[in-house]
Amino acid sequence: MTTIRVYEPALCCNTGVCGADVDQDLVTFTADLGALKDLGVDIERHNLANDPNAFATNDTVRAFLQVAGSEGLPLTTVDGVTVMTGSYPAREQLLKFAAVATDVIPAGIIALDMSEESGACCGETGCC
């Protein structure tokens, strides 16, 4: 199984989704990470403030920090290989990294076919 690890800069809490001024990128990434975990993907995030040992014990991450510093974070690795730096991956990218089909719908989500062909929306009258 593919392992995805995201090494983040020091955040106020484990997710960074706290306080009065929340970064929307962190909110989105937290939701995306949860959706992938629900699909069984081996994905973890490490916050420099709360989990410095994860940074210190990983040769790839340690070397990255020596060159780019914490300003280069977040750093995303797949099976130990750096695949992205400087920003959080989107859900589609995470699914690609995990080799999961991008049309997978997370558990608990119901897909409604609202296409014209289904007749669910426009019906015979053509009016929604």
| pLDDT, tens only, 39-80 | 999 999 999 999 999 999 999 999 999 999 999 999 999 999
In a domain, 55, yes or no: yes
In a domain, 128, yes or no: no
Domain with 69, as residue range(s), is 3-118
Measured between alpha carbons, how far is residue 109 from residues 32, 89, 96, 112 in Å?
Answer: 14, 22, 20, 10
Q: What is the pLDDT of residues 73-115, one digit of tens each?
A: 999 999 999 999 999 999 999 999 999 876 665 544 444 454 5
- Per DSSP, which regions of 9-127 are E strands? 42-47, 75-78, 81-85
The model carries a pTM of 0.75
In a domain, 29, yes or no: yes
Nearest to 66, CA basis, from 76, 55, 77: 55
In a domain, 127, yes or no: no
In a domain, 124, yes or no: no
* Residue 11 pLDDT: 80
For residue 55, give the CATH number of its domain.
3.40.30.10
Total domains, the chain: 1
